[in-house]
Amino acid sequence: MTLPEFFGCTFIAFGPPFALFVFSIANDPVRIIILIAAAFFWLLSLLLSSLLWFAAVPLRDVLVFGVVFSVLFQECFRYIIYRILRSTEQGLHAVAEDTRVTENKHILAYVSGLGFGIISAMFALVNVLADMSGPGTMGLKGGSEFFFITSAAQALSIVLLHTFWSIIFFNAFDTNNYVHIGYVVGTHLFVSLLTLLNADGYYWATLLPNYIVTVLTGAIAFKVAGGTGRSIKRFIMCR
């Protein structure tokens, strides 16, 4: 991969998260702290997954084993961060300059979800980006030229998905909506397992369902957070 490709892929994967960060996180220190804390919790889940992978020697070559348990660990840590945030709400309310953080519970969910997503996408893409330093692109020994751009698009969808998932997940625990919890864990597993198809070069077979799930999840999250068809209409009509 060459320098233009490197920047192209970086912009695709991290452009939208960066914009989200700039406009909705950066101006509030509490949100930044929560974002970093969420990222840290995601890293803890990665640590556990890798420990498990390391310990289960005979299953090391079976990727699917690692993927499933990694997803489960991530969801566990999503629940842990949910518990922590809910229990520290009072404290947050006391220190926060911008009280919207605690007044609208979805903001906490959104910020921690974005933290999850950004760190997850980084881990997914940084290895690929690191190998982009050379002058070549994919395709000499199989693989397609579009490998990098699909990887970047995939990373972007992971960021968005994690954000949406957190919003749904937090709300589901608030309202004891078990279908939503099941939906989050189920789609997370589904999307992660889909990426295994990339090994065989079925890029469109992974990317397309991936984005369908993303849009669907986005719609649910929007609804959960209080959006309606009417509000969209009003938003577009600028009233």
Partner 1 sequence: MAPQKKAAAIWLLLFLQSTATVFSERTRDKMYEPILGASCFRRLNGTHQTGCSSTYSGSVGVLHLVNVDADLEFLLNSPPSPPYAPLIRPHLFTRANLLRLKEAGPKIISVVLLINRTDKMKQFSHELNCPNQYSGLKLNRSMSETATCDASGNVANTWNRWGTGLLHEDFPFPIYYIGEDKDIFKLEDCFEKFNNFNYESHALRSLCAVEVKAFMSAAVNSEVCIRRTNFINNLGGSRYCDPMEGRNVYATLYPRNASENVEVNVAGSEKFIIVSCRLDTTSMFDGLGMGAMGSLVGLAILTQVAHMLRLLLPSPGALSDRQRNVLFVVFDGESYDYIGSQRFVYDMEHLAFPSPSTHTAPISLENIEFILDIGALDDVANIKLHTLTSTPLANQLLQQLNRYAKSPRYNFTVNIESNVGYHIPPTSAQSFLRYDPKLPVLILNSVPSNRYYHSIYDDLENVEFTYANASKDYTTLADIGDTANIFNSSALQMGVRNVSSIVAMTLYEILSGKQYQGSLVANPLLADEFFYCFLQSSDCPLFKAASSPNSPAGPQQPPMRYISVQGGSQESSGWTYRMLGYLLSHPQPAVSKENCTQLPLFFFAGLNGTGECRLTTQNYTHALSPAFLIDNYDWRSGDYSTWTESTWSLLSARIFLRPSNVHEITTLSIGIVVFIISFCLIYIISSRWEVLFEDVPASNAA
Binding site for partner 1 (CB under 8 A): 1-2, 4-5, 7-12, 15-16, 18-20, 22-24, 61-65, 68, 104-106, 127-128, 131, 134-143, 145, 147-149, 152, 156, 171, 174-175, 182-183, 186-187, 189-190, 193-194, 196, 199, 222, 224-228, 231-232, 234-235, 239
**Half-sphere CA count of 227, side-chain side, radius 13 A:** 15
- CB closer to partner 1 out of 7 and 40: 7
CA distance 22 to 35: 13
Least Å from the CB of residue 68 to partner 1: 8
- CB closer to partner 1 out of 40 and 180: 180
CA distance 210 to 56: 29
Least Å from the CB of residue 3 to partner 1: 8
Least Å from the CB of residue 39 to partner 1: 20
Nearest Cα to Cα of residue 73 among 192, 160, 178: 192
CA distances from 188 to 14, 67, 136, 180 (A): 20, 10, 33, 12
- CB closer to partner 1 out of 12 and 34: 12
Least Å from the CB of residue 149 to partner 1: 6
Our CA angle for 106, 108, 113, nearest 5°, is 95
- CB closer to partner 1 out of 39 and 194: 194
CA distance 75 to 183: 12
Least Å from the CB of residue 19 to partner 1: 4
Our CA angle for 87, 91, 92, nearest 5°, is 95
- CB closer to partner 1 out of 97 and 230: 230
